[in-house]
Amino acid sequence: MTQRLTPVELMSKLVSFPTVSRDSNLPLVDWVEDYLREHGITAHRHYDETGEKAALFAHVGPEVEGGVVLSGHTDVVPVDGQPWTSDPFTVEERDGKYFGRGCVDMKGFDALAIWALVEAHLLGVARPLQLALSYDEEVGCVGAPPMIERMLEVLPRAELAIIGEPSTLQAVTGHKGGLGYDVHVVGFEVHSSIMHRGVNAIMAAAPLIDWANQQNAEDRARTPSELGSMFEPPWTTLHVGQISGGTAHNITAKDCRFGMDFRVVPGEDPEEWGARFEARVAEAEAEMQAVHPDTRIELRRKFRVPGLQPEEGGAAEGLARQITGDNGRHVVSYGTEAGQFQERGYSAVICGPGDIAQAHQPDEFITVAQFDAGHDFMRRLVEKLRG
């Protein structure tokens, strides 16, 4: 008989695959697909354009619409330079905690979701359960939209999605949207003593970054909307976290590269913010080209993540609250794949074990108590689906 792994055993196996976003996740996908197949479950893949990464999704129960999706991502952030006290890709239990990269974000939930899918298949359910494991969530939630499109083509349409990002099993019903750009300012090099004849890419980039400062100040001074006031901070934020450029201190910089990221409160359109930024970039580029025609500013859209809007009488929220007993109002300022499911017509909620404060940290962990609570959540979910 095929061995049924416990949730902890499943988590340990998933963590053992170093699926940092820059690398392939196919070994993990291969293993999960084989494990599901051994238990009689057919899984489907959707590859990215490189063929080096894939999303995996599956359906158990009757072939009808109206089911529940358990959604997680397979990628993790790097451990480079972090002072871990144990092997980050080996789950270690100590002091009432499970340590390992991804234990909380979010291979712990992935393991619980795989366990629930197998359990639902073997016990039988009246309402379908689906599993959705994406790639590249950590670099802008770019893997979920094509996965969702493929799911809608292949599987019966589910009614709701539970996205298992760590929320200490509270029902989170709203999050900010996101928009990100890579910006490359291309200047024209001359000796700095005649800088007026050249275009310094760093100095041309500076007004664009200062524009972000100005927008942040204006947003902060504005009275937030009722929905926006639930967030911390209660306004849309613009952020530049990295910048590089220049050749030498006495040469006008030929290149300057930076990233511009937006975290947009629900009720505001990320695309409107993008249009405002692109218009400001066009102004800056025109000023540069008035000095030298070979200069330019190149923009590359890194990601767009829609916000998660609280739903009036939402089915996903209702189910999560029935299982957990949580009746509080919760929102988060980071983005997730929940908004992407909602954008495609699913009712969506964030509800997963563990504390987001532990995500991306050295010695990342999920407490044993939270993991066990997540196991209880899945048991109750399967029972509800059995009818």
Pick the catalytic residue from 137, 165, 189, 285: 137
Please state, as a whole number, how many other Cβ atoms lie within 10 Å of the Cβ of residue 362.
Answer: 13
DSSP H or E run through 217: helix 201-221
What pLDDT does 334 receive? Answer: 85
Q: What domains are there in the chain, each with its CATH number?
A: 7-174+307-385 (3.40.630.10), 177-305 (3.30.70.360)
- Any bridge partners for residue 28, and if so which? none
Integer Cα distance of 63 and 341 in angstroms: 20
Q: For the chain, where are the E strands, in sequence order?
A: 43-47, 54-60, 68-73, 92-94, 97-99, 129-134, 160-163, 172-175, 177-186, 237-239, 243-245, 255-264, 296-305, 330-332, 347-350, 365-367
Integer Cα distance of 254 and 288 in angstroms: 12
Pick the catalytic residue from 75, 105, 165, 219: 75
What pLDDT does 1 receive? Answer: 47
Note the maximum CA span of the chain. Answer: 79
Query: Helix crossing, 107-123 with 368-386: angle to 10°?
Result: 30
Residue 75 bears catalytic tag: yes
**pTM for the full predicted model:** 0.92
Residue 272 bears catalytic tag: no
CA 309 to chain centre: 16
**Which residue type occupies 285?**
E
Integer Cα distance of 238 and 215 in angstroms: 7
Contact assessment for residue 172 and residue 80, using Cβ atoms and an 8 Å cutoff: no
Q: How would you write the pLDDT of the chain (387 residues) with one tens digit per residue?
A: 479 999 999 999 999 999 999 999 999 999 999 999 999 999 999 999 999 999 999 999 999 999 999 999 999 999 999 999 999 999 999 999 999 999 999 999 999 999 999 999 999 999 999 999 999 999 999 999 999 999 999 999 999 999 999 999 999 999 999 999 999 999 999 999 999 999 999 999 999 999 999 999 999 999 998 888 999 999 999 999 999 999 999 999 999 999 999 999 988 999 999 999 999 999 999 999 999 999 999 999 999 999 999 999 999 999 999 999 999 999 998 889 999 999 999 999 999 999 999 999 999 999 999 999 999 999 999 999 998
Integer Cα distance of 335 and 333 in angstroms: 7
